[in-house]
Structure 1
């Protein structure tokens, strides 16, 4: 696991001091899996590619790659530097596009994947505006709370909510942040009573999110101001945020849901917030896209629309 010291090792200053061409060579070698193939991508010999990475390591005073006669792998510092490098190259692309003015005509098929609740409430309403602006683009959207493999399944852009596992094949960009809230229907609270402490949640039916490749614990700041994992139990587990929302409305238990999903229900009285004095976790909404050197115009245009709309 990457320790705290190595995680913060690469400041903006150290990244800027590293030669941009050497960073590109490093990224190419990692992507290709060898000095030979990565060097060829950059028009360099194996020796020249190796010297570029050696310069990086010397400048940063860390080892970025494990080298053996048979394999090439990233060190913990190398993984962190790769992630930062993706951000640097994406920023360079943005700068070039801004100077050039026209980012190109958006055309072709844009394939998106997003969690069902976010997709239906936030993403889908943006599509008509996008289609009008870019008549040569077709949009395909998969609404699913399953964590699709963005690269293997051929998606141009994915929206994720919460913590995402590091993936060196992808670039991550924060779009927005939301607050998770505890809520239940008036009928449920009338029948079971309202919990008054985090510990008392253990005596209630919790509506839990669970799927094959992810589970979401309830993290709350309790009455003492400490972040704790709530002691929840539930007989109903669902793999969809929309289904959890519907189950809460049906009076089946207490749910822990994003504020953007339940805001209208709270205002209308269909749901009530539980433990108002307890702070829920702030969670990021991020966009993920393959780490290509240049984004296709259709992807960049839609990403720009998301950022402009959500204020990321």
Structure 2
């Protein structure tokens, strides 16, 4: 198939920027071209495809059904191009400069910081600026170069995301608790036990388990204690205050030391993805790339915390 690549890319660039910025005017400003040129490039793209991608009004642009599907495809292509370019640039470019990184509090302290320190030792011109928070950070608005998120990574409109690991969950308790209250064999037994709940915004996070046929069921518990930070929740379980539903990355070392024991209640094999997110900017690529590669190598294909639990 013979086509003019330049004209194709102009149309795609105009379309993607219009969607992400919300108007032809803002898209034109992003790309450094005129508003009329942006509109014409999108119109030519729609003509070539034979479908309308955007519904235009005097105040807004809205994606059509076909436009939404095409936009998602374009974003995947752009992310692959970014990935290819950063892979090349990371080889030929000295890794240097300041990197602002946002980490979830407990996971960041336990598992990410050791990797970051190894990267810093290997790249003496790299300066780490690390903050810890469990809120969803606006990377672009707050000037953050890289964020690690567990579970739903959020909006990818202005970000590139890469899966660097998985988080699995277990139901566990301290041997002292089990000696006092008896051992559990099935999920229904939880109704007669003290349970420790992790909370978000003062609301306990539901527990999920698998029934005998492998279907996911929500476990109904009345927590005796509710805690909003993972490390104190684990500490409460170790002290024998109740049964906990916690990620393996938080429990691994305590299971190895027998401070916690995994209960024979089946849960999901993957509780949530662990994702690295960074803004779409090639200027940031080398210093961000070296960190993302190190985390991916450390956490995939089998996370070290799951290896510890499986022993």
Please confirm whether the aligned pair reaches a TM-score higher than 0.5, indicating the same fold.
Answer: yes
Residues 175 and 83 of structure 1: CA distance in aligned 2, closer, same or farther (over 3 Å): farther
User: How many Å apart are 1:226 and its aligned residue?
Assistant: 0.9
Please, which of 106, 111, 121 is the counterpart of residue 117 of structure 1? Answer: 106
Please, which of 262, 265, 268 is the counterpart of residue 280 of structure 1? Answer: 268
User: How many Å apart are 1:28 and its aligned residue?
Assistant: 1.8
CA distance in 1, matches of 2:217, 2:50: 38
> Is 1:179 the equivalent of 2:159?
no
Q: Report the equivalent of 1:106.
A: 95
TM-score by length of 2: 0.82
1:156 touches 1:289 (CA, 8 Å); kept in 2?
A: yes
> Is 1:203 the equivalent of 2:203?
no
CA distance in 2, matches of 1:204, 1:76: 49
TM-score by length of 1: 0.82
Residues 175 and 76 of structure 1: CA distance in aligned 2, closer, same or farther (over 3 Å): farther
Q: How does 1:133-144 map to 2 (within 5 A)?
A: 133-144=122-133
Which SS does the other structure have where 1:168 is aligned? coil
Higher helix share: 2
Q: Report the equivalent of 1:149.
A: 138
Gaps of 5+ in 2: 1-6, 302-311
Please provide the CA RMSD for this pair.
2.9
CA distance in 1, matches of 2:203, 2:33: 42
Aligned length: 295
Moved more, 149-158 or 61-70: 61-70
Q: Report the equivalent of 1:71.
A: 60
Q: Report the equivalent of 1:291.
A: 280
CA distance in 2, matches of 1:84, 1:275: 43
1:210 touches 1:216 (CA, 8 Å); kept in 2?
A: yes
Gaps of 5+ in 1: 1-17
1:103 touches 1:297 (CA, 8 Å); kept in 2?
A: no
Q: Report the equivalent of 2:3.
A: none
CA distance in 2, matches of 1:275, 1:77: 47
CA distance in 2, matches of 1:222, 1:240: 28
2:149 touches 2:274 (CA, 8 Å); kept in 1?
A: yes
Q: Report the equivalent of 1:188.
A: 177
Which SS does the other structure have where 1:190 is aligned? helix
CA distance in 2, matches of 1:60, 1:281: 42
User: How many Å apart are 1:245 and its aligned residue?
Assistant: 1.3
